[in-house]
């Protein structure tokens, strides 16, 4: 039996929150609701939340701050931000916040459901894999616990970052286009641009490269995308 997944919807506008909740429940998810960031953080402390759907504009502490706190305390929770058109996607996806995905308001709730499912797929532990530990010196990937190490030091990755690293390390030397990475990691045809791939790679480089300004492990393939350097 599939374990039921628990989604927390954080939005002060009640009609949007209810609308999202109904659509997620229809797909079999357990949905928790919060109208403020403070409330959301309380719920995350008490309940086992898999994915947070987080609006940026909230009374009290805003979605950015909630996201920052969540990433510090619960790096493996999936986060999908709800944004207004005017908000800066680079900032949302950037180093400090590290969200897994975002949706621009107004959005189709079915599209949000698809994104939640896609994110959960990225987060699923690959228990069927017999070889749990992959060595790629100086890195080590534990596919069972989804942990990533450099020189035996754990580097905490978001679910999306982990999926990219897994793709890269399983295909070292292969050049991936941004669109290929989008399709494999996000699992749907992304309608905006492929900037989301670039910001995730930038974040990964900051975490794992010796010198992020001179990346060695994640190479840029000009005009194409990225390549994990060949062993």
Among 55, 100, 101, 161, interactor with Ca ion by CB under 5 A: 55
Q: Which long-range contacts (CB under 8 A, 24 or more apart) does 174-183 make?
A: 174/227, 174/228, 175/221, 175/224, 175/225, 175/226, 175/227, 176/221, 176/224, 176/225, 176/226, 176/227, 177/224, 177/225, 178/224, 178/225, 178/226, 179/225, 180/225, 181/225, 181/226
C-alpha 223/C-alpha 150 separation (Å) is 29
Nearer to Ca ion, 109 or 212 (CB): 109
Rounded least distance, CB 33 to Ca ion, Å: 13
Nearer to Ca ion, 24 or 197 (CB): 24
Instruction: Name the nearest CA neighbour of 44 among 70, 23, 19.
Output: 70
Nearer to Ca ion, 24 or 164 (CB): 24
Does position 12 interact with Ca ion (CB under 5 A)? The reply is yes
- Of 9-17, 42-50, 60-68, 101-109, the segment contacting Ca ion by CB under 5 A is 9-17
Does position 39 interact with Ca ion (CB under 5 A)? The reply is no
Nearer to Ca ion, 20 or 208 (CB): 20
Written as six digits, the tokens of 197 are 């791939």
- Of 56-64, 90-98, 150-158, 184-192, the segment contacting Ca ion by CB under 5 A is 56-64
Nearer to Ca ion, 63 or 215 (CB): 63
The residues of the shown chain that bind Ca ion, judged by CB under 5 A, are: 12-13, 55, 57
């Amino acid at each position: 039996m599939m374990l039921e997944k628990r989604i927390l919807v954080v939005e002060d506008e009640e009609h949007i929150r209810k609308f999202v909740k109904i659509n997620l429940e229809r797909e079999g998810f357990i949905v928790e609701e919060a109208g403020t960031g403070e409330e959301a953080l309380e719920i995350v402390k008490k309940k086992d939340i898999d994915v947070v759907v987080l609006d940026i504009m909230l009374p009290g502490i805003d979605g950015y701050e909630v996201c920052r706190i969540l990433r510090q305390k619960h790096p493996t929770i999936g986060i999908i931000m709800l944004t207004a058109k005017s908000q800066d996607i680079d900032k949302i996806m950037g180093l400090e916040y590290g969200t897994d995905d975002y949706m621009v308001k107004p959005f189709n709730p079915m599209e949000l459901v698809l994104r939640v499912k896609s994110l959960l797929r990225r987060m699923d532990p690959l228990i069927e894999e017999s070889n749990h530990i992959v060595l790629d010196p100086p890195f080590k990937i534990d596919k069972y616990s989804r942990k990533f190490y450099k020189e035996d030091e754990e580097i905490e990755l978001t679910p999306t970052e982990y999926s990219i690293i897994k793709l890269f390390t399983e295909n070292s030397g292969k050049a991936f286009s941004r669109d290929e990475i989008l399709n494999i990691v996000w699992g749907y045809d992304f309608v905006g641009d492929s900037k989301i791939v670039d910001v995730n790679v930038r974040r990964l480089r900051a975490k794992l490269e010796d010198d992020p300004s001179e990346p060695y492990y994640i190479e840029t393939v000009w005009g194409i995308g990225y390549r994990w350097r060949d062993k």
